[in-house]
């Protein structure tokens, strides 16, 4: 498969079973490639109407402290297409929202379901669930990481570019952002070079960034960060951005609008990227803020293919963790 060669055999793939999926940084390059290959195979089958009930009888519990469109629907539909079922659990409706400890909630839910997916604020929440759960825990999103989205992003890039290794990705916006963090981990693991354009004071989490610098050096890749968007955008194959104000930061809207206004992805600065660049956004997007309507609605945008690929990436995660 050209640039997406996978070195794991079926026995190696079984090494995923029963594990947690919390960050891409915890996976090897081969493991990420294996997930991408699995996602492509499952997508091909789905398009041909040949969904196989690999997970018949399996149940996924989905805990949401943050609202969601793509995460909820992709995991729920993914389980259905794989023959299993998914249960939506709002933190407001279960005892977790009334003060029950994560320890007790994880212990109890582990007796009912085969895996847990959690979309929450603090990353320590999913880590604590994983510590006490006896079934696999999947990070559907935290303030620090968004690995399921970035797996879908890598799948989309491969589909559009035919390779991953050697490409240059440019992330524009808030560097201290779950998308930026997971992109650093994922892109570098598959051989992509990464540049980050962000305002001063909004750099990535130091621990995540230092680990990414080490990974880049080990793999002979480029990882650059600057407040100069033009310098970072130059010759990019892939341009990515995210909202300027994430959930939980609503009281910072006015300040962030001022700070990030020079970091809008638009036609002018995209002229610096390669002519055949592709544009990604995890959605929801605010046209006229982090990205101009002409870019997100234009010929370089692949955001809806990217959104669809959440489904196929999620199915790959579920199958390899549960089968």
- 242 labeled binding residue: yes
Both tokens of 248, joined, read 């939980």
Active site residue: 119, 281, 300, 312, which one?
A: 119
Specify whether the CB–CB gap between 65 and 120 falls below 8 A.
Answer: yes
Active site residue: 81, 242, 256, 264, which one?
A: 242
Alpha-helical segments (H) within the chain: 10-13, 29-47, 70-81, 102-110, 123-132, 147-161, 178-189, 206-218, 229-233, 253-260, 267-270, 293-296, 303-322
Both tokens of 152, joined, read 């879908």
Integer distance in angstroms from the first to the last C-alpha of the chain?
24
- 149 labeled binding residue: yes
d(CA 313, CA 56): 19
CA nearest to 228, candidates 272, 163, 178, 274: 272
Structural element, H or E, at residue 251: none
d(CA 92, CA 210): 36
- 283 labeled binding residue: yes
- 310 labeled binding residue: yes
- 192 labeled binding residue: no
| 198 is an active site residue | no
Active site residue: 37, 81, 149, 264, which one?
A: 149
In the numeric block, the tokens 């980050």 are attached to 196
| 174 is an active site residue | no
- 147 labeled binding residue: yes
Active site residue: 282, 300, 312, 314, which one?
A: 282
- 195 labeled binding residue: no
Active site residue: 33, 123, 145, 146, which one?
A: 146
- 95 labeled binding residue: yes
d(CA 65, CA 268): 38
- 219 labeled binding residue: no
- 282 labeled binding residue: yes
- 178 labeled binding residue: yes
For 63, residues 6+ apart whose C-beta sits below 8 A from its C-beta are 89, 91, 94, 96, 116, 117, 118, 119, 120
- 1 labeled binding residue: no
| 310 is an active site residue | yes
| 149 is an active site residue | yes
Annotated binding site for L-ornithine: 178, 242, 246-247
Annotated binding site for carbamoyl phosphate: 68-71, 95, 119, 146-149, 282-283, 310
Annotated binding site: 68-71, 95, 119, 146-149, 178, 242, 246-247, 282-283, 310
The set of catalytic residues is 119, 146, 149, 242, 282, 310
């Amino acid at each position: 498969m050209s640039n997406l060669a996978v070195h794991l055999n079926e026995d190696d793939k079984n090494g995923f079973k029963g594990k947690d999926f919390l960050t891409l940084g915890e996976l090897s390059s081969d493991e990420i490639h294996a997930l991408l290959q699995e996602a492509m195979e499952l997508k091909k089958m789905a398009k041909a109407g040949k969904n196989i009930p690999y997970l018949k009888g399996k149940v996924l519990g989905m805990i949401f402290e943050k609202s969601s469109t793509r995460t909820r629907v992709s995991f729920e539909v993914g389980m259905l297409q794989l023959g299993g079922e998914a249960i939506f659990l709002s933190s407001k409706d279960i005892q977790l929202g009334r003060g029950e400890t994560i320890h007790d909630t994880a212990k109890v839910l582990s007796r009912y379901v085969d895996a847990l997916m959690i979309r929450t604020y603090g990353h320590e929440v999913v880590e604590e669930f994983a510590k006490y759960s006896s079934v696999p825990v999947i990070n559907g999103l935290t303030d620090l990481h968004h690995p399921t989205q970035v797996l879908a992003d890598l799948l989309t890039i491969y589909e559009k570019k035919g390779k991953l290794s050697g490409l240059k990705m440019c992330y524009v916006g808030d560097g201290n952002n779950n998308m930026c963090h997971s992109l650093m981990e994922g892109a570098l693991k598959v051989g992509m070079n990464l540049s980050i354009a962000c305002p001063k004071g909004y750099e990535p989490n130091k621990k995540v960034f230092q680990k990414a610098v080490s990974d880049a050096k080990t793999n002979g890749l480029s990882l650059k960060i600057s407040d100069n968007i033009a310098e970072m955008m130059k010759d990019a194959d892939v341009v990515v951005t995210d909202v300027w104000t994430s959930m939980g930061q609503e009281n910072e809207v006015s300040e962030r609008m001022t700070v990030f206004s020079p970091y809008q992805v638009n036609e002018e600065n995209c002229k610096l990227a390669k002519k055949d660049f592709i544009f990604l956004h995890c959605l929801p997007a605010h046209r006229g803020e982090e990205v101009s309507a002409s870019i997100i609605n234009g010929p370089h945008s692949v955001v809806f293919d990217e959104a669809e690929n959440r489904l196929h990436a999620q199915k790959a995660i579920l199958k390899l963790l549960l089968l």
